[in-house]
Chains A and B, each alone.
Chain A
Amino acid sequence: MTTSAVTEKNSFMKVLSNIWELVKKIPPVFPIFFVLFIIVSLLSPTYSTANGVMAFLRRTAPLGILAIGQMIVLATGGFDLSMGSIVTLVCLVSSLLLANDEANTYPTIGLMLLLGAGIGLFNGFVVTFLKVPSFIATLGTMLAVRGAALYWVGGAPKGYFTDNFRMWGRGYIENVPLVGRFPIGLIVLIVVGLISWFAFHRTNYGKQILAIGDNVRAAKLSGVKVRLVRMSAFMVSAVLAVIGGVMIGGYGGVNVSIGEGLEMDAIAAAVVGGVLLGGGKGAVVPVVFGAYTLEILFSMLNLLGLPKPYKDSIQGLIIIGAVAYVAISQRKKR
């Protein structure tokens, strides 16, 4: 009898430990986000309404998209510092090219996407063929793109965004059952997220990116076309920066420093979402939640009545903490 009790207890413990194993596999960013979200909705009733939640998701969508792009480059072991400048370029130059004519919207967006792809190609070329470390290569393009954008528009934003351009960042689909209004930006994030998720987790591409970031030599000896994959990663990141840029412009409006520092925000979101600098680790959904976590944190600080600038300090603590947590738990595993 005692033995059976013991085994029963053991099997119970086993179930518990199995559950614990599963729980441990959940990226910490999910529980953190939900805890913060609950706190925020307790603090402010708007966050428990569909409208409030949708507004939050609309606001966060561009950073989510940028973070996905940044994550893909980070996973190969690189950096993309040119993202913020690409956003600036998109906002400034589009406002000029749109010329207040709705008919210009889609040609303009198309042109921006092409420009973005070109910038990404340049970054990739400089890194893979000229062997400049991506930190420096994309720092160079960051300056060049920002300078070019300002030069193009003559130093100050010109013109306005057309309504059908703004729609992507701030528009809603009205009268949606259950939630009422559904932000178009969120649809863009979902579409981009799904495509990225599919490419990253359900095609060879993502696995090759992770393999390169983890061990370039092994990847190469296993037949991975390292240069092609690496260059494409920079292109994806730049194109996503363009998409994010269209939405950011639409949401807020134009000013010359609109994209400044966004590359760092995107890196922070990716890192909070569990991406390792140096490559080899990354996943789309946690990274999007990394962006959500940073945003909800800022909302919470606002609601707590802390002065706005403190959000920077908290963001700083969070990213150091996130990486220290990974570093320490890695050391324990060994």
Chain B
Amino acid sequence: MTTTTANGRGLKKFFRSVSIPPVYYFLIVIFLGGGLLDLFYAGGQIFGNTAIMLNILVRSVALGIVAVGQTMVIVGGSIDLSVVFVISLTSVMSSYIMQGETSNVPKAILLVFLMGAGVGLVNGLIITKLKVNSFITTLGTSLIISGIINSTFSNWAGSVPRSFEFFGYATIGPVPFSVIILFLMIFAGWFVLSRTKFGAHLYGVGGNEEVARLSGLRTDRVLIIAHIICSLTAVLTGLFIVSRLRAGAPWVGPDGYYDLESIATTVVGGTLLAGGKGGVWGTLAGVLIFSILDTTFNQLGVNPYLSIVFRGLIIVLAVASYTIRSKKEAA
């Protein structure tokens, strides 16, 4: 008995330490709502089907991974629109370098991660040193990368070897490998934000740059690292996508709207757009909400465009539920 209470307390402590964001209520509502729809219209075949449930998770992988990086940048009071073309560039670059040969895989992976680090570094430097607004900076770098991709590739480029499809398709037991990667990334994101000095400093920089500076933090460096991490998560998303599609194409990033969707899921997850508050667990819930919505509508044969409408309304409603009591004017 003592052990159970201790465990119970431990669990409680754990939940408090990750501080469950209110977005999980939304997640539950969406989940129950989807379940009810399922019950009435599909006889419970959707939510009772493990394969479909797992598919909800697989659907969340691409957006979920990059949203981890986006969350970090937003916590730091910045924003990154360039992830969308970093994803595209990763997909075409890796698939072009691999050319279907397993021996090329390490080289491709190394190069795309270097590319990602470079993009993040450039974003961070422009924002901190030239003092250009992060929205404009990353919109700009996004356009620059898009131009480079589209002038080099116009269609499917190269292909990935069978061995590399592991990332997208392999399962470990019943669990897809990619889902494990997603949860590892979420865990890593949580770890970085709440268990490293960098994370603590990032909250400081996003919360109040002046306070951070007066506490002796190197604010510029913190923000640059956050941007590098964010671009690297975009690279990982790109690798996942290329492994699913078996080849890279310039449009994979923009087609998934990974820039705005990753921002939306982050903010829906309870991270403050202005920075200083939030975390990846909320973002995970935001991503899952979108996936459940898509999957349920998809399985029920509801018009897919309605699910886009719902997506938009949920973004507004969820964020409004956090902001409505605020006394400050929004802009």
Contact = CB atoms under 8 A, between A and B. Distances in A.
Interface of A: 76-79, 81, 126-128, 130-137, 139-148, 150-151, 155, 213, 216, 226, 264, 267-268, 271, 277-279, 306-317, 319-320, 323-324, 327-328, 331
A44 B127 CA distance: 38
Given A140-B314, A140-B315, A145-B312, 5 more contacts: A77-B331, A131-B323, A264-B139, A271-B136, A306-B151
Contacts of B126: 320, 324
B142 A316 contact: yes
Nearest to A82: B312
B312 A143 contact: yes
Contact of A313 (B132, B133, B147, B308): B147
A132 B312 contact: no
A143 B265 CA distance: 13
Contacts of B148: 309, 313
Contacts of A311: 147
Interface stretch (B5-13, B107-115, B299-307): B299-307
A216 B331 contact: yes
Given A135-B273, A148-B309, A320-B140, A81 B330 contact: no
B319 interface: yes
Contacts of B140: 316-317, 319-320
Interface in B191-238: none
**SS of B interface (majority):** helix
Contacts of B132: 320, 323-324, 327
B133 A133 contact: no
**SS of A interface (majority):** helix
Interface of B: 126, 130-133, 135-137, 139-151, 260, 263-264, 267, 273-274, 303-316, 319-320, 323-324, 326, 328-331
Contact of B316 (A140, A271, A278): A140
Nearest to B153: A309
A271 B314 CA distance: 30
Given A131-B328, A147-B309, A316-B140, A136 B273 contact: yes
Contact of B144 (A141, A312, A327): A312
Nearest to B154: A309
Contact of A312 (B137, B143, B311, B320): B143
B130, B267, B307, B316 pick with most chain A CB within 10 angstroms = B316
B264 A132 contact: no
Nearest to B264: A139
Contacts of B306: 147, 151
B330 A310 contact: no
A206 B313 CA distance: 31
A147 B308 contact: yes
A144 B260 contact: no
